[in-house]
């Protein structure tokens, strides 16, 4: 499954920035807000698509420009794809998609699995750059992310988890736990590097001692 999906571009515009926000609560459904900063010159009909991964479903999808509702046409589901189009007024520079991900969070007593499809606009990205896409997800108290995609995250002082990418991904998915996990994938990599450096230093020290008269 490809982590990125960009649609055939609509004429006369581009994606400048995308910001996803969501909050995982007690239930399995997760409400998502996806704010785009775009560049358009004329009234346009912008296509979008989302990949409904691992049995999740996107429902209650709506679009807004400056809190003004925009017409949205949803196509019938085709396999895992959820696609449609938004009628965007001329000179629109920002729009927001809001939807609910049914089954987006699976929770047990001490673990949490979250899968959030990203509705990707059918506009080009002229230049991939750090932070073009970011997502902020609030987790229940006591839970911390173990691993997922994107793989690198930052925890804010308020406890939110933030990811950044140079492109718009098709999904944000991760596992979280309320228990202390000693060996997460990033920690495994860091530990391996430290052990390698220690081993190299040990070998170097032995070689230096062996070379002394």
Answer whether 185's CB lies under 8 Å from 191's CB: no
Residue 44's pLDDT is 85
Residues counted in the chain: 213
Low-confidence spans in the chain with pLDDT less than 70: 1-12, 180-213
d(CA 170, CA 3): 6
Q: Does residue 84 contact residue 17 with C-beta atoms inside 8 Å? A: no
Please report the pLDDT score of residue 8 as a whole number. Answer: 41
pLDDT score, position 156: 84
Model pLDDT, residue 196: 45
| pLDDT of the residue at 12 | 60
Where exactly are the structural domains of the chain? 13-180, 182-213
pLDDT digits (tens, 9 = 90+) for 81-115: 999 999 999 889 999 999 999 999 998 888 999 99
Distance between CA 23 and CA 32 in Å, rounded? 8
Element housing 208 (H / E) = helix 185-211
Predicted pLDDT at 13:
84
CATH number of 13-180: 2.60.40.3650
66: preceding bond cis by omega (within 30 degrees): no
């Amino acid at each position: 499954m490809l982590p990125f999906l960009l649609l055939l571009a609509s004429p006369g515009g581009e994606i400048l920035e995308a910001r996803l926000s969501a909050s995982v609560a007690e239930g399995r459904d997760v409400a998502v807000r996806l704010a785009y900063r775009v560049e358009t010159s004329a009234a346009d009909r912008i296509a979008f698509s989302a990949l409904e991964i691992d049995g999740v479903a996107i429902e209650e999808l709506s679009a807004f420009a400056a809190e003004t509702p925009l017409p949205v046409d949803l196509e019938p589901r085709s396999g895992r794809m959820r696609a449609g189009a938004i009628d965007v007024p001329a000179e629109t520079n920002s729009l927001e998609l809001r939807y609910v991900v049914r089954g987006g969070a699976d929770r047990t007593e001490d673990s949490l699995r979250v899968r959030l499809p990203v509705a990707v606009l059918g506009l080009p990205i002229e230049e991939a750059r750090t932070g073009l896409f970011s997502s902020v997800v609030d987790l229940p108290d006591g839970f911390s992310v173990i691993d997922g995609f994107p793989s690198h995250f930052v925890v804010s002082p308020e406890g939110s988890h933030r990811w950044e990418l140079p492109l718009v991904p098709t999904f944000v998915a991760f596992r979280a736990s309320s228990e202390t996990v000693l060996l997460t994938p990033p920690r495994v990599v860091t530990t391996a590097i430290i052990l390698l450096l220690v081993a190299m230093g040990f070998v170097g020290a032995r070689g230096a001692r062996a070379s002394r008269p």
